Amino acid sequence: MMAQSLSSFTDLIRSAERSAVHLEMRDVYAVPNENEQFAAWRQGHQLDPDDRDSWWRPWLDVVQEITAKGVRIRRARIAGARTAPSDSDIRAWCEACGAGDQATDQIGLR
């Protein structure tokens, strides 16, 4: 099922009782806002996780809400032959976003 909007996807994932899998099937999503944020971070910009208006926080709020109910959320990624970010970039990015505890899972999915 392809979600048509964040609100419909949020409603769907909120209905999970035990686990949910976020399936990614593209190597590159080419979302300009995310590309710009990642490029800025690589140049030294630091995100403030408490400043919800400065970056795309709604997804993390939904994840926190759902996992607080005991639902396990995982990501599955089908990737092609393109070069993925390095393990150290993934760890540093997760730390900068306040999700350092998820870095190992993100690396393990590649």
- The pLDDT of residue 4 is above 60: no
| Domain locations in the chain as residue ranges | 14-108
Q: What is the DSSP string of 13-71?
A: HHT-SSEEEEEE--S----HHHHHHHHHHHTT----TT-GGGTT-HHHHHHHHHHHTT-
pLDDT, tens digit (0-9, with 9 covering 90-100), for 82-92: 666 778 888 88
pLDDT, tens digit (0-9, with 9 covering 90-100), for 95-109: 777 777 877 877 765
Q: What is the mean pLDDT of residues 8-19?
A: 87
